[in-house]
Chains A and B, each alone.
Chain A
């Protein structure tokens, strides 16, 4: 897990150089938007028969928080959630595109895509656009519950990498919280333990992260579907 993360980090640094010579679309908004993008935070924790996901609620533009209650999760189907952060317009455009296509699949074939299939479909689309004139700069977590395979959490990033992981996080906040997840995670977490672990992560962010993230949307997916849990807020808002 640690080696893969390091490799992704190095790949990140290497490819950025190449992509800066690409068409204006990337280079224009790259440097300034990059900093703001990484200030968003996504996290997912997979338990024995559920997946717990959380995302921050800030929609920022330059130095201003334009919205404090922005929902970064997109419901793909009854048991699949797509969490999407990244460049301003790309997130909504890409996530809605995937969302509508997953629903179209269900309409055409009469049954829903499994989380693994949806994740691979998403990754394929990201990969197809990656070397086009208009790549999508989005980082994703796809969380779902499959009746045969059980819960699944998939980590995808803007270079269209895909990894199924027991826990994952995106953004600068990930640097602060992945070690907490490493230390306390066990595969047979109960729901309460997972929420406690999530709270530990968020406490750490509130303590050490430079950006103020006042509240987080939390959702849980299990065989009954998607459940909204209580928003986790910081004291002062």
Chain B
């Protein structure tokens, strides 16, 4: 699937006339690793110029900006929508945040085709796990599964850097194994904010609210199952990290600087959305490989919801206008707030 996409993409590129309409027709966002600045040796005359690849000062990877963070209302994930390839915008409206199941999304960066494939493989495996064991695999387990699946490809050109964002626990179908099946050892709970909650088999959990202090701990055969928001960064080079705030991609340093200032546990949903939007906007402004629109997903105990896609070009003009108004109004420079 990935190989086919790659071949097709090259074919399209050779046919210089139909490039634009073909990419719309495919509807597939095939980006390729932009670090390969390889010339198309048998290309048509339009692409005869060859730009030799300039060595990068440090590995700038994954032309995108994606971010995700935890807060009291769950997890917020945001990403831009530009797919770039060899210095061109291959698709200005790609979807970088893909739902895995009802309570988990994955922000993807790296090679578009690889990400699309592996997120689908992951959702297949998670669904199989759910059918076999009667409960959803935890986010930590899903991250471990993805990490182990990607490990054999280490050292190859496969490039996937995903942030798995989800809500653990809160089973709605309420199928519990009474025999106390050995649950998978989840990741270590390092963050002080998370408190483990034990699931009693007799307790039919419908919706779980924000994490509360666990009641009795059954130490015999049931492991303590964590319930609440969870965030994992998984990379095809083997990294797997649990955290409260991640940003991945070439625009991530710009996003980090905005997020580090403002992200707190106590944010409301609106504040969190605003900060995420602002961070992606600033990153798209500075980073050439990020841009176009911003997608925001929110995951709570009830599942994921998606905010409508927003064009950041409008935001740029709004801010520009605000600044000009401010400068015209008085002499002192007024700091422009990027509000909702």
Q: Do A and B bind each other?
A: yes
B124 in the interface, Cβ–Cβ < 8 Å? no
B195 in the interface, Cβ–Cβ < 8 Å? no
A161 in the interface, Cβ–Cβ < 8 Å? no
Q: Which residues from A are CB-within-8-Å of B60?
A: 62
A127 to B304, CA, bound (A): 47
**Using an 8 Å CB-CB cutoff, how does the interface string of A71-103 with B read, 1 for contact, 0 for none?**
100000000000000011111110000000000
B258 in the interface, Cβ–Cβ < 8 Å? no
Q: Which residues from A are CB-within-8-Å of B252?
A: 64
Q: Which residues from B are CB-within-8-Å of A186?
A: none
| CB–CB A25/B241 < 8 A | no
A32 to B246, CA, bound (A): 22
In the complex, which of the residues B155, B188, B190 contacts A25, with contact meaning CB atoms closer than 8 Å? B155
| CB–CB A61/B238 < 8 A | no
A92 to B151, CA, bound (A): 11
Q: Which residues from B are CB-within-8-Å of A211?
A: none
In the complex, which of the residues A32, A63, A67, A89 contacts B151, with contact meaning CB atoms closer than 8 Å? A89
Count A interface residues, CB 8 Å. 26
Interface SS, B side: loop
Once A64-B252, A89-B151 are accepted as A-B contacts, the answer to whether A29 and B237 lie under 8 Å apart by CB is yes
A26 to B156, CA, bound (A): 10
A32 to B35, CA, bound (A): 14
Which residues of B in the span 240-262 have a Cβ within 8 Å of any Cβ on A?
Answer: 240-241, 243, 246, 252-253, 256
In the complex, which of the residues A64, A67, A70, A87 contacts B238, with contact meaning CB atoms closer than 8 Å? A87
Chain B residue with the shortest CB-CB distance to A91: B238
A28 to B156, CA, bound (A): 8
B233 in the interface, Cβ–Cβ < 8 Å? yes
A165 in the interface, Cβ–Cβ < 8 Å? no
A88 to B239, CA, bound (A): 5
CB B65 to nearest CB in A, in angstroms, measures 13
In the complex, which of the residues A69, A87, A89 contacts B190, with contact meaning CB atoms closer than 8 Å? A69
| CB–CB A92/B155 < 8 A | no
In the complex, which of the residues B58, B154, B188 contacts A89, with contact meaning CB atoms closer than 8 Å? B154
A134 to B156, CA, bound (A): 12
A190 in the interface, Cβ–Cβ < 8 Å? no
| CB–CB B243/A67 < 8 A | yes
B27 in the interface, Cβ–Cβ < 8 Å? no
Once A32-B59, A62-B58, A88-B237 are accepted as A-B contacts, the answer to whether A71 and B190 lie under 8 Å apart by CB is yes
Count B interface residues, CB 8 Å. 24
Chain A residue with the shortest CB-CB distance to B235: A88
A88 to B235, CA, bound (A): 9
Q: Which residues from B are CB-within-8-Å of A28?
A: 155-157
Chain A residue with the shortest CB-CB distance to B237: A88
A63 to B250, CA, bound (A): 11
| CB–CB B241/A67 < 8 A | yes
| CB–CB A90/B238 < 8 A | yes
| CB–CB A61/B58 < 8 A | no
B123 in the interface, Cβ–Cβ < 8 Å? no
Q: Which residues from A are CB-within-8-Å of B208?
A: none
A93 to B151, CA, bound (A): 9
CB B165 to nearest CB in A, in angstroms, measures 15
| CB–CB B253/A70 < 8 A | no
A19 in the interface, Cβ–Cβ < 8 Å? no
Which residues of A in the span 153-185 have a Cβ within 8 Å of any Cβ on B?
Answer: none
In the complex, which of the residues A33, A59, A93, A134 contacts B241, with contact meaning CB atoms closer than 8 Å? A59
Q: Which residues from A are CB-within-8-Å of B233?
A: 66
Q: Which of B147, B155, B237 has the most CB of A within 10 A?
A: B155
CB B211 to nearest CB in A, in angstroms, measures 19
In the complex, which of the residues A32, A66, A91, A93 contacts B243, with contact meaning CB atoms closer than 8 Å? A66
CB A22 to nearest CB in B, in angstroms, measures 10
| CB–CB B256/A64 < 8 A | yes
Q: Which residues from B are CB-within-8-Å of A88?
A: 235, 237-239
**Using an 8 Å CB-CB cutoff, how does the interface string of A23-56 with B read, 1 for contact, 0 for none?**
1111011001100000000000000000000000
A66 to B231, CA, bound (A): 13
Which residues of B in the span 216-250 have a Cβ within 8 Å of any Cβ on A?
Answer: 233, 235, 237-241, 243, 246
Chain A residue with the shortest CB-CB distance to B252: A64
B61 in the interface, Cβ–Cβ < 8 Å? yes
In the complex, which of the residues A29, A66, A67, A71 contacts B155, with contact meaning CB atoms closer than 8 Å? A29
- A residues apposed to B, CB below 8 Å: 23-26, 28-29, 32-33, 59, 61-64, 66-67, 69-71, 87-93, 134
- B residues apposed to A, CB below 8 Å: 58-61, 147, 151, 154-157, 188, 190, 233, 235, 237-241, 243, 246, 252-253, 256
Beyond A25-B155, A29-B155, A71-B190, list 12 extra A-B contacts (CB 8 Å). A29-B154, A59-B239, A62-B59, A66-B239, A67-B241, A71-B188, A87-B238, A88-B238, A89-B147, A89-B151, A92-B240, A93-B151
